[in-house]
Structure 1
Amino acid sequence: MEKFIDYILQFGNLNKQQIDLIKSKATEIELHKDDYYWEAGKAVKQIGFLTDGVLRVYYFNNKGEEITRYFIDEKHLILSGNNVDEFYTPSEYLQALTDCKMVVFPKQDWKEISEIIIGWDNIIQKIIAKHHTEKLRKRSDLISQDATERYLGFLEKFPTLANRIPLSYIASYLGMTASSLSRIRKNIR
């Protein structure tokens, strides 16, 4: 819980009563490796913040192949949908790649925090903007680079992930086969 509060306080000021309100609405949960935070077609009814671990977002293409869209590591807010009032039904899966710890809020409690704490929405918008910028920066080079450059870029942008998650997921994220990634890794050692 303290990791979440410390992170939020980087984006705005909250007093003790506001922090106590946030803590009273939050629950700490654990996901074990391979557990799902959400699954395609099932309504998501909570907002989460990843304090420890790595998640991946993936979907199945029209050939039935798993495609990893991106990874989420520590200190990331996981919102669902565009509006906190509606239940979000994703078309993708959000799966734990490692054991994970999260702080979660039922959507109704998140909405209540927003209604009570003046400036909460501003804090959340700053976090969303930061995450969006990071995601774009991490994905933008993948389009124009060759496979080796994509992998080296991945290592630079996700320095803590390469040894924590299966290579097959990294290969999928980078748009290559696992055997191609193995060759690239062997050639750059």
Structure 2
Amino acid sequence: MTIEAMAQHSTGQWFTGSDGHRWWFDSGSLALDFAYTGAMGDNPAWERLHGPADLTEWLTGRFERLAGEANERNLIEAGQLRAAIANLTMASVRGEGARGDDIDAINLFAATPDIPPSLSGGSLQAGGSRPRVTQALSTVARDAVALFGGQVAGRIRECSADDCGIVYFDTSRSANRRWCSMQRCGNRAKVRAHRARTASPAHDGAAE
């Protein structure tokens, strides 16, 4: 699957770091966005799915036509799918083999009906029904299948900052994305580079 085909869903969400700084992180993938609702990273503030209502809110932000509310079973299933995506993501980054149970979990969700494309303005029920939570989870799973099973898997990368470790899917045309976010690690790198360029030689000599 091509980069363009995978970009059919809007991606990205706001994060709040341990220092209170709020920044936008676009993982480049619907599946990775879902994994970063709490299954990846060691910042407890990133956990978003504390209850069914949180799952409903997150999915509704991605699928505006979502019907109904998520329940406890949906939340448990979402956690299973999320963990499998996170595990495969880290295995890909580390060059490790994927675990069969993680693959099975994603395949199981992907095998169920997803949200089909439709045109607005029709009068038939087939084109006007609103998708369920289970269909939204299937759509996330199918995005994960494309992410890990396609020819673009080599674009799953870690942020270049030594103290970061956040993973993203590089959707740039030149495949040269380096940072999790220009508002975060990219900006920090620019500040450090600027300070290095503007350091006074005379000051450096006096400090020795």
TM-score higher than 0.5: no
Name the larger-Rg structure: 2
| Greater fraction of residues in strand | 1
TM-score (norm 1): 0.32
| Greater fraction of residues in helix | 2
TM-score (norm 2): 0.30
